[in-house]
Chains A and B, each alone.
Chain A
Amino acid sequence: MGGRLKNALVYTVLILWMLVVVLPLVWTVFNSLRSSLEVTENPFGIPWLFTGLPEKYVDEPAIPAPIDSVQTNYRKAWTDSHFGDFFLNSIIVTSLSLVGILAFGAMAAYALARFQFRGNRVLLLYFISGMMIPAQLVLVPLFFQFTYISEWGSALLEPFGYQLKLHDSHTGLILVYIALSLPFTILVLTGFFKSLPSTLREAGIIDGCGEYRVFWHIMLPLARPGLVTAAILNFLGIWNEYLFALVFLTTEEKKTLPLGLASVSIQAQYKTDYGLMFAGLVIVLIPTLAVYLVLQRQLTRGITVGALKG
């Protein structure tokens, strides 16, 4: 086969797959700009928003202007269907989980990587073996455990006027996310801390820093690439997590984005409100897309590092 023909074939295949991946998303964004009427009449073309209303509808007062349909779709999704709340909830749950994962993960990884003590290896193994636990296995016991952990916790916190509520609350979800993300995070970060020269710590100690300051001011900044990798991978996992959120969150206003999208879509399909459905999809898809485009290099590198080590 001629080199040129072969080359053309290679590019055709690659570009075709690119279209298969990208076009459904362009289509989703386009459809979120259409009214339900337009979705059924003009599902594949350029939205009327850009081309203008077709002749036959121009003088029709019952047909809204395209720009109004866009507003209707997104207002319905954001306000009436609580996507605004879902978005905020996702941000709260994800950011608090990430803070916990990185803080506790880095602390434990540092202690395990830089200090020799009895049981060090066993403890590391204990944490890392957690990577094999499927979410489905711990799901059911956690559901029942939440009840009495809440009781104990509330009894403990009562003198301070607090209550611990794990069922149908972000607290419970965050604690589970942290616990189940620790194994992978500790694995990655232990590797990082081990690769840092031990003389750094000794120099810090000699200069009169305590162990805490050595960790905070010397080790943590040096481990930043590892922290970034762990943060990105955990962010995507938690932002998109569905199963635990499904079990632990029941109130509509507390739901995270994937969960909210799933419940709204059932109503939207029932009412054949396609505009709402597509707008909801766009609201869920765009943030991860944006994060991905910004961090894509670190992400793919992190994944290969994680996979080759794990």
Chain B
Amino acid sequence: MKLKRDQKWFLLVFLSPAFILFTVFAALPTLRALGFSLQKWDGLSEPRWAGLKNFADLFQQSDLFLNALSHNVIIMVFGGGLTLLTSLCFAALIHRRVRGAGLFRVTFFFPNVLSSVAIALLWVLLYSTTEFGVINNGLIALRGGVQGLLDYWGFKITLPDFGLPFPFTESSYLIWSVIPIMVWTATGFYMVLFLAAMENIPETFYEAATLDGASGTAQFFHITLPLIREVLTVGLVFLVIFSLKFFDTIWVMENQWPRKESHVMATLLYQKVFSEYNVGYGSAVAVVLFVLVFLATLVTLRLSRREALEY
């Protein structure tokens, strides 16, 4: 197709707003971030060339960065792993025709539309050590109940107090305390994702398997799981990327001042740049974060390009 003159104008008019905005506010800043990470700069004076010094600093200056990175990994492995487990489990349960599937789907998904700030604050209140902290009060009641039963049955055992009420939101425990929040929020999203994939599997597969005497569990492992592998991989990448970019929850729960025990990469980046004016160091963290996200995406694209099962 040869373009006419007025069509060229049309294309120019239609493409330039998106092109200019994307270039100025997304593409150029990406390149500049790479530049920043190679400079020593406090944001005001003349920036100085630093080569790879910022990246060396990440690993040598202190254990701050490795600590933060290890927290991202904890969130990825435990938060991501648990989310994967619960969402697959619920998807499998709902997939086998339960009544009220629609209701379960709608309610399970619902935390995903809420603001992450609101969710973090809600959990601060749930975790609270005061009179209204639901979780601590629940645990105390549980301990009391078990103790009562022990006494009733005549055991002469006194349970330890397990440090209750437990300060879940203190910096040193925070990384572990955000894991239930992540599972609570994300389970519904991945369940909806996996369920959509499961519903694409032809019913005849299951009918044939049932005739052959395969149990529900066997069907899940030998039919469902292999056939949703692609979507499972997509879900996995999402979880990895999400854990690498983790920010809001920690930032809010730490009242905008995380400490060494609670930093993740994104909070460290923010603090270094906007509180300590160490632009180079912060940008180096951002570049590492970007490279990890990029690698995660690449690996998954690689994996999912393998022969897709035809059915």
A291 at interface by CB-CB < 8 Å: yes
Interface readout for B124-163 with A: 1 if CB under 8 Å, 0 if not? 1110001110100100000000000000000000000000
Q: For A143, list chain B residues within 8 Å (CB).
A: 273-274
Q: Report if A303-B193 is in contact (Cβ < 8 Å); known contacts: A18-B107, A21-B110, A262-B252.
A: yes
Taking a contact as CB atoms under 8 Å apart, the answer to whether B10 and A211 are in contact is yes
Taking a contact as CB atoms under 8 Å apart, the answer to whether A242 and B118 are in contact is no
> Interface residue tally of chain B, by bracket?
35 or more
Minimum CB distance partner of B21 in chain A: A179
Complex interface residues of chain B between 32 and 60 (CB less than 8 A to chain A):
32-33, 36, 43
Q: For A278, list chain B residues within 8 Å (CB).
A: 125
Taking a contact as CB atoms under 8 Å apart, the answer to whether B18 and A186 are in contact is yes
Interface readout for A269-294 with B: 1 if CB under 8 Å, 0 if not? 10000100110010011001101110
Q: For A103, list chain B residues within 8 Å (CB).
A: 17
Cα distance, A214 to B169, chains bound together (Å):
57
Cα distance, A253 to B28, chains bound together (Å):
31
Residue of A140, A175, A239 contacting most chain B CB atoms (<10 Å):
A140
Cα distance, A21 to B270, chains bound together (Å):
31
B117 at interface by CB-CB < 8 Å: yes
Q: Report if A307-B234 is in contact (Cβ < 8 Å); known contacts: A108-B15, A145-B29, A281-B118.
A: yes
Q: For A66, list chain B residues within 8 Å (CB).
A: none
Taking a contact as CB atoms under 8 Å apart, the answer to whether A258 and B26 are in contact is no
At the interface with chain A, which of B61-69, B201-209, B218-226, B282-290?
B282-290
**Could you tell me the distance in whole angstroms from the C-beta of B28 to the nearest C-beta in chain A?**
7
Q: For B121, list chain A residues within 8 Å (CB).
A: 261-262, 265, 277, 281
Taking a contact as CB atoms under 8 Å apart, the answer to whether A22 and B107 are in contact is yes
Cα distance, A292 to B256, chains bound together (Å):
29
A51 at interface by CB-CB < 8 Å: no
B176 at interface by CB-CB < 8 Å: no
A5 at interface by CB-CB < 8 Å: no
Taking a contact as CB atoms under 8 Å apart, the answer to whether A140 and B279 are in contact is yes
A88 at interface by CB-CB < 8 Å: no
B122 at interface by CB-CB < 8 Å: yes
Complex interface residues of chain B between 98 and 127 (CB less than 8 A to chain A):
98, 103-111, 113-118, 121-122, 124-126
Cα distance, A218 to B151, chains bound together (Å):
77
Cα distance, A130 to B297, chains bound together (Å):
13
Closest 5 CB pairs of A and B: A43-B132, A179-B25, A108-B18, A141-B32, A141-B29
Cα distance, A43 to B106, chains bound together (Å):
27
Taking a contact as CB atoms under 8 Å apart, the answer to whether A176 and B115 are in contact is no
Taking a contact as CB atoms under 8 Å apart, the answer to whether B231 and A288 are in contact is no
Q: List 27 A-B contacts (CB under 8 A).
A: A14-B93, A18-B107, A21-B184, A39-B131, A43-B132, A104-B17, A107-B13, A107-B18, A108-B14, A108-B17, A123-B19, A130-B22, A132-B290, A134-B290, A137-B29, A141-B283, A145-B32, A175-B25, A179-B26, A211-B7, A215-B14, A239-B115, A242-B247, A266-B256, A281-B118, A292-B113, A307-B234
Interface residue SS majority, chain B: helix
Interface readout for B71-102 with A: 1 if CB under 8 Å, 0 if not? 00000000000000010001001100010000
Taking a contact as CB atoms under 8 Å apart, the answer to whether B113 and A140 are in contact is no
Taking a contact as CB atoms under 8 Å apart, the answer to whether A134 and B25 are in contact is no
Cα distance, A142 to B107, chains bound together (Å):
38
A188 at interface by CB-CB < 8 Å: no
Cα distance, A18 to B187, chains bound together (Å):
11
Cα distance, A215 to B15, chains bound together (Å):
14
B269 at interface by CB-CB < 8 Å: yes
**Could you tell me the distance in whole angstroms from the C-beta of A20 to the nearest C-beta in chain B?**
7
Known: A138-B29, A262-B252. 13 other contacts (CB 8 A): A14-B93, A14-B104, A107-B14, A108-B19, A137-B286, A138-B33, A140-B36, A141-B32, A143-B274, A212-B10, A243-B247, A265-B124, A308-B197
Taking a contact as CB atoms under 8 Å apart, the answer to whether A242 and B248 are in contact is yes
**Could you tell me the distance in whole angstroms from the C-beta of A132 to the nearest C-beta in chain B?**
6
Q: For B33, list chain A residues within 8 Å (CB).
A: 137-138, 140-141
Q: For A176, list chain B residues within 8 Å (CB).
A: 25
